[in-house]
């Protein structure tokens, strides 16, 4: 990874402009930072600039969409999935010539694609992956890669105390003295039933529920639900992007019924894969809709930094 990054930094390996100003959202660890809510927030706030999201479409469903692509496609910007973001950008401009800015989902290590602004996400709960590169740790590349960031967003910030946040900021500053550091939480605004009925999160209070998910950071989801005051009778954590089958759902439902659950709770990301097989579930299933909430005015500050880039007026 060091050699590869060095070749890109020295411009020995080519870096290709994508034809529009490009904002990258990525991370330095494997999963769990909450990229999808951040990309969705960014697309919504840049709506007037007509953004297009470029992603790789990792672990597509049988319908041909990844869970992330399906979630983002329901938002404010067109989505193009292609493992080669350069090819994806060409296709995007053919299909959506009105595009004025690209949002590069999971773009930090995709060095072949040029970017005008680099946002790096760090999970406050598990910030630096043991400070070792995978497979010895959970880093995608050495921490020196943080030097490329223009802004760092510490996600799940309310799951860490001030001392832990200060330590995270200190590690970032060891490798990057110029990047702005922001804090944000991933919150659950409401729960939604299979039929589309909505229920505020606080309605979990007094209910017995069984929660399961396929996320990079399942503990954060379970913790977030517990803050609502319901009675969690059990949880199951599957691998990130887990592709549920009917036998998995039958096993989960049986476990939940044995524990006395009156409902199942999953994330909207899981629901993408579950929706096709949910009709046979004997318990009501509710999906939690995750959204991003910045601390204080951090969101406005980040948008102010991005504004000139998105307007191609750097």
Give residue 135's pLDDT. 84
By residue count, the chain amounts to 314
Residue 194 has pLDDT above 70, yes or no: yes
Q: In this model, does residue 62 exceed pLDDT 50?
A: no
Statement: residue 60 has pLDDT above 90? no
Examine the pLDDT at 63 and tell me if it is beyond 60: no
Lowest mean pLDDT among 69-78, 80-89, 157-166, 302-311: 69-78
Nearest alpha-carbon partner for 107 in 40, 41, 24, 14? 24
Confidence of residue 64 (pLDDT cuts 50, 70, 90): low
pLDDT, residue 238, reads 93
Q: Does domain 2-185+293-310 have CATH number 3.40.50.300?
A: yes
Helix (H, G, I), strand (E, B) or coil at 174: helix
Q: What is the mean pLDDT of residues 100-124?
A: 96
- Which CATH number is 187-292's, of 1.20.120, 3.40.50, 2.60.120, 1.20.58? 3.40.50
| Residues 156, 127 contacting (CB under 8 angstroms) | no
Domains 2-185+293-310 and 187-292 share a fold: yes
* Domain limits, the chain: 2-185+293-310, 187-292
| Spatial CB neighbours of 166, under 8 Å, sequence gap ≥ 6 | none
Percent of the chain with pLDDT over 90: 70
Q: How far apart are the first and last CA of the chain?
A: 30
Residue 166 corresponds to which tokens in the numbers above? Answer: 């200060």
Q: pLDDT confidence of 48, banded at 50, 70, 90?
A: very high
- What mean pLDDT value characterizes the chain? 91
What is the per-residue pLDDT across 225-272, written as a single tens digit (0 to 9) for each?
Answer: 998 888 999 999 998 888 899 899 999 999 999 999 999 999 988 998
Q: What is the reported pLDDT for 58?
A: 54
Phi, psi of 179 (to 5 degrees): -70, 140
pTM, entire model: 0.91
Specify whether the CB–CB gap between 29 and 128 falls below 8 A: yes
pLDDT of residue 299 exceeding 90, the answer is: yes
């Amino acid at each position: 990874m060091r050699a590869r990054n060095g070749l890109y930094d020295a411009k020995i390996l080519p870096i290709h402009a994508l034809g529009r100003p490009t904002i990258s959202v990525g991370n330095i660890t494997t999963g769990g930072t909450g990229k999808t809510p951040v990309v969705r927030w960014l697309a919504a706030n840049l709506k007037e600039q007509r953004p297009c999201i470029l992603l790789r479409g990792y672990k597509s469903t049988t319908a041909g969409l990844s869970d992330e692509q399906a979630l983002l496609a329901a938002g404010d910007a067109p989505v193009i999935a292609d493992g080669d973001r350069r090819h994806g950008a060409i296709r995007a401009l053919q299909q959506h010539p009105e595009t004025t800015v690209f949002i590069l989902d999971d773009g930090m290590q995709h060095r072949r694609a040029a970017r005008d602004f680099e946002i790096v996400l760090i999970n406050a709960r598990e910030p630096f992956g043991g400070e070792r590169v995978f497979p010895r740790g959970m880093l995608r590349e050495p921490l020196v890669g943080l030097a490329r960031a223009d802004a760092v967003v510490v996600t799940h910030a309310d799951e860490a105390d001030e001392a832990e946040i200060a330590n995270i900021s200190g590690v970032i500053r060891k490798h990057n003295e110029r990047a702005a550091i922001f804090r944000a939480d991933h919150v659950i605004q409401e729960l939604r039933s299979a039929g589309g009925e909505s229920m505020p999160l606080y309605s979990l209070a007094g209910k017995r529920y069984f929660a399961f998910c396929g996320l990079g950071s399942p503990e954060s989801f379970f913790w977030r639900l517990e803050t609502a005051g319901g009675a969690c009778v059990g949880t199951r954590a599957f691998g990130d992007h887990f592709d549920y089958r009917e036998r998995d759902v039958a096993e989960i439902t049986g476990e939940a019924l044995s524990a006395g659950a009156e409902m199942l709770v999953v994330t909207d990301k899981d629901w993408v894969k579950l929706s096709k097989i949910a009709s046979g579930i004997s318990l009501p299933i509710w999906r939690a809709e995750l959204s991003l909430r910045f601390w204080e005015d951090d969101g406005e500050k980040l948008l102010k930094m991005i504004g000139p880039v998105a307007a191609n007026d750097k």
